């Protein structure tokens, strides 16, 4: 669970000093901050399901990679060090509006490169390794979420980030041997929120009754979206791509496509345990389910 305050294992970039500028249009770039982000591409053994580990390809040693947070209008400067001495890696930000050939370039093994973009639109977006084959690099664990806060602050709420993804390959003696061929031809062996199947079934997310909740949901794939649903609740608002201008009301289930994101806002009126799932239950049964426990 990543909630305010975010856990120490995740990068939290709250821009306290940014000057408020008009939402969506007329952004005064001179008033914006410059945010420096450091990412390291590296191999790391991670737990992906109860009793199961895999040797993942990661950003900063975790799957998903660190949650990044900036503000609308910020200039985002990203330095990627490729500590993987076997292959090239890169980083593709869905929050960026740039020429991908010019900006999302491969970083050679052992090398360090920097890129920059302006976060012009608020929301929650995926970032991932964009090096070919992209399916393999994402499937091995190279993805994460970036939140771009609107220039006009959102209402106060308890915030949680949920990144849904899936893992492919064969499990033997507690180890997942992931394979590109399995990603191309077979169903996943696990689905997960925040990198681990059944993470929040086994350790529910504790919430307060009556407190507004804001869920930042990203479907990292590499191939499945998330039919996101909270059992026993209807969302007050759903914002596709997390943009407040896209707000819909009274939605019970919303499809976040692979590579997409959305903000879900709700509150729990009664105490109890509320399952959250991808409502494509074939995939929920593989691990993309959890519990909110309201008290």
The answer, yes or no, to whether residue 14 has pLDDT greater than 70, is: no
Identify whether the C-beta of residue 283 lies closer than 8 Å to the C-beta of residue 196: no
Rounded Cα distance, 89 and 146, in Å: 19
Q: Domain 158-294 maps to which CATH number in 2.60.40.10, 3.30.310.10, 2.60.40.420, 3.40.50.2000? A: 2.60.40.420
Instruction: Please compute, for residue 212, the number of CA atoms within 13 A of its CA located in the half-sphere on the CB side.
Output: 10
Overall average pLDDT of the 145-154 stretch: 96
Rounded Cα distance, 201 and 289, in Å: 7
Confidence of residue 32 (pLDDT cuts 50, 70, 90): low
Provide the pLDDT for residue 31. 52
Provide the pLDDT for residue 288. 98
Rounded Cα distance, 134 and 23, in Å: 33
Each domain of the chain, given as residue ranges in start order, spans 2-149, 158-294
Provide the pLDDT for residue 29. 40
Fold of the domain built from segment(s) 2-149? Immunoglobulin-like (2.60.40)
Instruction: Tell me the per-residue pLDDT of 68-83, one tens digit each, with 9 for 90 and over.
Output: 999 999 999 999 999 9
What residues form DSSP beta bridges with 230? 276
Evaluate whether 2-149 and 158-294 have a shared fold.
yes
The answer, yes or no, to whether residue 64 has pLDDT greater than 80, is: yes
Confidence of residue 46 (pLDDT cuts 50, 70, 90): very high
Cα separations (Å) of 243 from 98, 264, 276? 19, 11, 22
The answer, yes or no, to whether residue 57 has pLDDT greater than 90, is: yes
Confidence of residue 283 (pLDDT cuts 50, 70, 90): very high
Overall average pLDDT of the 256-278 stretch: 98
């Amino acid at each position: 669970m990543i909630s305010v305050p975010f856990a120490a294992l995740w990068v939290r970039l709250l821009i306290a000093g940014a000057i408020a500028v008009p939402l969506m249009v007329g952004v005064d770039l001179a008033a914006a901050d410059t945010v420096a982000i450091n990412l390291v591409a590296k191999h790391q053994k991670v737990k992906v399901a109860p009793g199961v580990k895999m040797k993942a390809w990661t950003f900063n040693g975790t799957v998903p990679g660190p949650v990044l947070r900036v503000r609308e209008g910020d200039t985002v400067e990203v330095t990627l060090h490729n500590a993987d001495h076997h292959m090239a890696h890169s980083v593709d930000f869905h929050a960026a509006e740039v020429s991908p050939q010019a900006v999302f370039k491969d970083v050679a093994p052992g090398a360090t490169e920097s890129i920059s973009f302006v976060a012009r639109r608020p929301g929650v977006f995926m970032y991932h390794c964009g090096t070919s084959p992209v399916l393999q690099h994402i499937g091995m664990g190279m993805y994460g979420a970036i939140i771009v806060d609107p220039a006009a602050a959102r209402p106060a709420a308890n915030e949680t980030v949920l990144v849904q993804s899936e893992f492919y390959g064969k499990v033997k003696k507690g180890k997942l041997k992931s394979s590109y061929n399995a990603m191309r031809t077979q169903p996943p062996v696990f689905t997960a929120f925040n990198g681990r199947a059944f993470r929040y079934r086994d350790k529910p997310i504790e919430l307060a009754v009556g407190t507004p909740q804001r869920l930042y949901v990203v479907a990292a794939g590499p191939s499945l979206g998330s039919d996101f649903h909270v059992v026993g609740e209807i969302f007050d608002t759903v914002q596709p791509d997390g943009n407040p201008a896209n707000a819909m009301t009274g939605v019970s289930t919303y499809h976040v496509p692979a590579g997409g994101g959305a903000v879900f806002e709700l509150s729990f009126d009664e105490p109890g345990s509320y399952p959250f799932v991808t409502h494509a239950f074939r995939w929920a049964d593989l691990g993309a389910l959890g519990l909110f426990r309201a008290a």
